[in-house]
Amino acid sequence: MIEIFKTILIGIVQGITEWLPISSTGHMILLDQLISLDVSDDFRKMFFVVIQLGSILAVVVLYFKKLNPFSTPPQEKKRVLSLWGKIIIGVIPAGVVGILLDDWLDEHFYNYITVAVTLVLYGILFIIIERRRKGKRPSFQTVYDIDYKTAVAIGCFQVLSLVPGTSRSGSTILGGMLMGSSRTAASEFSFFLAVPVMLGASLIKVLKFGFAFSSSQLLILLVGCTVAFLVSMAAIRFLISFVRKNSFELFGWYRIALGCIVLGYYLFIVR
């Protein structure tokens, strides 16, 4: 029961941080130090990736009509298919780099110093970009307005998220905003890019781990994904509602504070 309670807490943190631009990996590393699951290291690494499947399902459910060309009016079908084309080319950069460098990135960057530095760095970037954008009209008001060139550029920004602490949503939202997207368009495109990327990452981790799960491991996966799904539903709705009226500057300050906490925790407590 203690492990299930830990799993529920991890699912809550995953569901919130996956979509807000505050780095789910950074929070997971810190949370794992505080309430580490009593599982093998290989299963833990796989679980922290596969739990994202619950978060992916939340996007599919919330945006089913927007992403399904067969559920939209005939005149909208072409626009939805075009959106899918942009999503596909947008995931290619991170997909290629992720497959080639997955183990190398884990070995060299999965540590508290990297997480702390990227949390602070991208927090500062959010604040700077938001202040420079103030009063400017975005070139792309909706996610459908984003063109193929911009989709590729955002996809390149997503490569940065392979470094722990960057935040996949943070890097793609920043990229979208730098390329002229509104906060809402950048956020939604970030959500859509996550679906194939996180599916691919989960598949890679499961294949490396193997399918010989024990009953307790299966229960942990099921509980974690279910909680992540339910919390993600609320987190996505919150973020879209928030950015329609507010900037991302608050998240920038949060990242800076969390980065300092992560660095201080490891320097003065763990050591």
Contact between residue 199 and residue 57 where contact means Cβ atoms under 8 Å apart: no
pLDDT confidence of residue 122: 93
pTM beyond 0.85: the answer is: yes
Q: Which domain holds residue 7?
A: 2-270
Give the C-alpha separation, 25 to 164, whole Å: 6
Give the C-alpha separation, 15 to 9, whole Å: 10
Q: How far is CA 255 from the centre of its chain?
A: 14
pLDDT confidence of residue 32: 80
Interacting residues of 50 by C-beta distance below 8 A, sequence separation 6+: 202, 205, 206, 221, 225
Interacting residues of 153 by C-beta distance below 8 A, sequence separation 6+: 175, 179
Residue 12, both tokens: 């809550």
Give the C-alpha separation, 69 to 72, whole Å: 6
The tally of domains found in the chain comes to 1
pLDDT confidence of residue 37: 85
Is the Cα torsion angle 213, 214, 215, 216 positive or negative in sign? negative
- Give the max Cα distance, the chain: 61
In order along the chain (271 residues), what is the average pLDDT of each group of 10 residues?
Answer: 91 92 82 83 85 91 88 80 94 88 80 88 94 88 94 94 87 94 94 88 80 87 95 95 92 93 80 64
Q: Provide the residue type at 168 as one letter.
A: R
3-state secondary structure the chain: CHHHHHHHHHHHHHHHHCCCCCCHHHHHHHHHHHCCCCCCHHHHHHHHHHCHHHHHHHHHHHCHHHHCCCCCCHHHHHHHHHHHHHHHHHHHHHHHHHHHHHHHHHHHHCCHHHHHHHHHHHHHHHHHHHHHHCCCCCCECCHHHCCHHHHHHHHHHHHHHHCCCCCHHHHHHHHHHHCCECHHHHHHHHHHHHHHHHHHHHHHHHHHHCCCCCHHHHHHHHHHHHHHHHHHHHHHHHHHHHHCCCCCHHHHHHHHHHHHHHHHHHHHHHC
Q: Which residues pair with 140 in a beta bridge?
A: 181
